[in-house]
Amino acid sequence: MPDLKAVEVARAAAEWWAGQGAGGRRRHLLAYKSSIAGRIDELAALIRAETGKPTAGALLEVMLAVEHLDWAARNARRVLRRRSVSPGLLALNQAAAVEYVPYGVVGVIGPWNYPVYTPMGSIAHALAAGNAVVFKPSEVTPGVGEWLADRWAELLPDRPVLQVVTGDGETGAALCRSGVDKIAFTGSTATARAVMAACAERLTPVVIEAGGKDALIVTADADLDAAARAAVFGGLGNAGQTCAGVERVYVEQAVHEPFVAALAALMREVTPGAGPDAPYGPMTTPAQPGIIRAHITGALARGARAVVGDAGSVRPPFVDPVLLTGVPEGCAAVTEETFGPVLVVNPVAGAEEAVRRANAGGYGLAGSVFTRHRRRGLALAGRMRVGAVSVNSVLGFAGVPSLPFGGVGDSGFGRVHGADGLREFSRARSVTWQRFRPPIDLMTLRPSASALRVSLAMFHRRHGALSSRSRDRRDA
Ligand code: NDP
């Protein structure tokens, strides 16, 4: 059993941290943010060393993470302040308010694909809401996790409000069972199930940010060049190892051919490499190329057509871009997370069918729509069964720190980022205080007959209950 003394240490730190108040936490978090931002090159180099991603991708990841941290630090006081609410008719003698209080210690379990950006979505909001955090990074990226904790320790060496525990899945499982007050998990859907089962033992609440199989819808009126460029970025960026990356494209039949031609031309220009300036790098884990190859061969065996690349594009640790079309909907390449630079581009009769197919799978993380008509785009976006949608861009929401992020179905539940992300790491507590004695008191073992009569009369009047005479008339 991995040693998780960090959770005990975090308890005392959590008390101190909660006692700092929103103003104190904001000051410390902004200092923490600056210490990360000031050493962005160092952190990007470490991300690159552990994941293989090119420098630009690593820098972008840190920049986005810092934006979210900054937002959480600056907005926690406003979002989580105590709010007075109406006491309602029954309790007019009371004043009522809702408060948002920290959980205590939050365990954060992170993946390797964006080892700073994704866990920071939970870490920043959990800290800003007043919790201490024990972070378990992926065993693939332990150095990045330790680097983030070291920056905290430099600023507040005696206040271990953010700590890191490294290890494999067993350490993650132990963290789930350690008595932390909440678990924020980001990773695959399969591991999410194990995390929930472990958390169920102690009724530890969880937020789950799991996998995706995101669809991009291209309507006949769309700017096809813009849609193709977006599909390239969303599908090939980070070697396709992006939870909310584009894996499926549904294109209206009328423009399927020109869209595929435009997309194929762009994809043929891209070659992955190990250098810092490569468009994308190697697959980060040794298991992934095999999964990608299986998805490609499975689709081709069932009649799909490879427009760019084929199974031979998988040459570990690299995978060249692959564009498949006419892929039967039951194939793994359509239903399961490929997590590689493979785009399935299928024609559809119209936008209705595109939405139906986009919504058909178990995942529901994010999606995108390309159309020149704003209203139509927003209407289609509103019908996608996902947690986030971009119109005329991909991943447009990722850089907007006030927007919540999270999925539905197999992609998980709960939200990080934005005001919802701050509330995710707070418990709502209700408070009432009596301002004067109630003129009609029902909260007593022997309410007076007149109090009951007046209350019932008000009840019937307010809720439209029929008097017995009206009921008789209705039933006659
Ligand atoms: P995994 O599910 O394999 O691992 C995620 C984390 O869970 C790792 O730290 C892992 O540790 C840990 N872990 C493994 N087993 C257990 C267990 N039994 N109990 C507790 N923790 C455990 O995901 P990957 O790291 O491979 O990340 C890729 C996945 O993450 C993809 O599915 C991707 O879509 C998803 N993802 C989702 C995001 C979102 O916001 N929705 C964002 C980014 C990625 P170790 O690595 O040491 O085994």
Domain map (residue ranges) of the chain: 5-210+416-428, 215-400, 443-475
The Cα-based distances of 237 to 53, 196, 321, 356 in angstroms read: 10, 30, 11, 26
Ligand 1 atom, smallest distance to 243 CA: 34
Q: Among 118, 171, 243, which residue has the most ligand 1 atoms within 8 Å of its CB, making it the best to mutate?
A: 243
Ligand 1 atom, smallest distance to 405 CA: 40
What local confidence, expressed as pLDDT, does residue 468 receive?
Answer: 62
Q: How far is the CA of 321 from the centre of ligand 1 (A)?
A: 24
Catalytic residues: 209, 243
Q: How far is the CA of 186 from the centre of ligand 1 (A)?
A: 6
Ligand 1 atom, smallest distance to 192 CA: 2
Ligand 1 atom, smallest distance to 140 CA: 46
Is the preceding peptide bond at 282 cis, omega within 30 degrees of 0? no
SS (H, E, C) the chain: CCCCHHHHHHHHHHHHHHHCHHHHHHHHHHHHHHHHHCCHHHHHHHHHHHHCCCHHHHHHHHHHHHHHHHHHHHHHHHHHCCEEECCCHHHCCEEEEEEEEECCEEEEECCCCCCCHHHHHHHHHHHHCCCEEEEECCCCCHHHHHHHHHHHHHHCCCCCCEEECCCCHHHHHHHHCCCCCEEEEECCHHHHHHHHHHHHCCCCCEEEECCCCEEEEECCCCCHHHHHHHHHHHHHHHHHCCCCCEEEEEEEHHHHHHHHHHHHHHHHCCCCCCCCCCCCCCCCCCCHHHHHHHHHHHHHHCCCEEEECCHHHEECCEECCEEEECCCCCCHHHHCCCCCCEEEEEEECCHHHHHHHHCCCCEECEEEEECCCHHHHHHHHHCCCCCEEEECCCCHHHHCCCCCECCEECCEECCECHHHHHHHCEEEEEEEEECCCCCCCCCCCCCCHHHHHHHHHHHHHHHCCCCHHHHHHHHC
> What would the CATH number be for the domain defined by 215-400?
3.40.309.10
Q: How far is the CA of 119 from the centre of ligand 1 (A)?
A: 11
**Single pTM value for the model:** 0.95
Domains 5-210+416-428 and 215-400 share a fold: no
Ligand 1 atom, smallest distance to 194 CA: 18
Q: How far is the CA of 187 from the centre of ligand 1 (A)?
A: 3
Q: How far is the CA of 110 from the centre of ligand 1 (A)?
A: 6
Q: Among 125, 186, 288, 424, which residue has the most ligand 1 atoms within 8 Å of its CB, making it the best to mutate?
A: 186
Nearest CA to ligand 1 atom 21: 172
Ligand 1 pocket, Cβ-based, cut-off 6 angstroms: 109-114, 118, 136, 138-140, 168-169, 172-173, 176, 186-188, 191, 194-195, 209-212, 243, 337, 365, 407
Q: How far is the CA of 158 from the centre of ligand 1 (A)?
A: 31
Let me know: does 165 contact 171? Beta carbons within 8 Å: yes
Nearest CA to ligand 1 atom 19: 173
Per-residue pLDDT of the chain (476 residues; tens, 9 = 90+): 677 899 999 999 999 999 999 999 999 999 999 999 999 999 999 999 999 999 999 999 999 999 999 999 999 999 999 999 999 988 899 999 999 999 999 999 999 999 999 999 999 999 999 999 999 999 999 999 999 999 999 999 999 999 999 999 999 999 999 999 999 999 999 999 999 999 999 999 999 999 999 999 999 999 999 999 999 999 999 999 999 999 999 999 999 999 999 999 999 999 999 999 999 999 999 999 999 999 999 999 999 999 999 999 999 999 999 999 999 999 999 999 999 999 999 999 999 999 999 999 999 999 999 999 999 999 999 999 999 999 999 999 998 999 999 999 999 999 999 999 999 999 999 999 999 999 888 989 999 999 999 999 998 998 985 666 666 676 66
Q: Among 117, 191, 408, which residue has the most ligand 1 atoms within 8 Å of its CB, making it the best to mutate?
A: 191
Sort residue 201 into left (φ over 0), alpha (ψ -120 to 50) or beta: alpha
Q: How far is the CA of 111 from the centre of ligand 1 (A)?
A: 4
Nearest CA to ligand 1 atom 13: 169
CA separation for the pair 231, 248 (Å, rounded): 9
Nearest CA to ligand 1 atom 46: 138
Nearest CA to ligand 1 atom 12: 169
Q: How far is the CA of 147 from the centre of ligand 1 (A)?
A: 19
Q: Domain 5-210+416-428 in CATH: superfamily?
A: Aldehyde Dehydrogenase; Chain A, domain 1 (3.40.605.10)
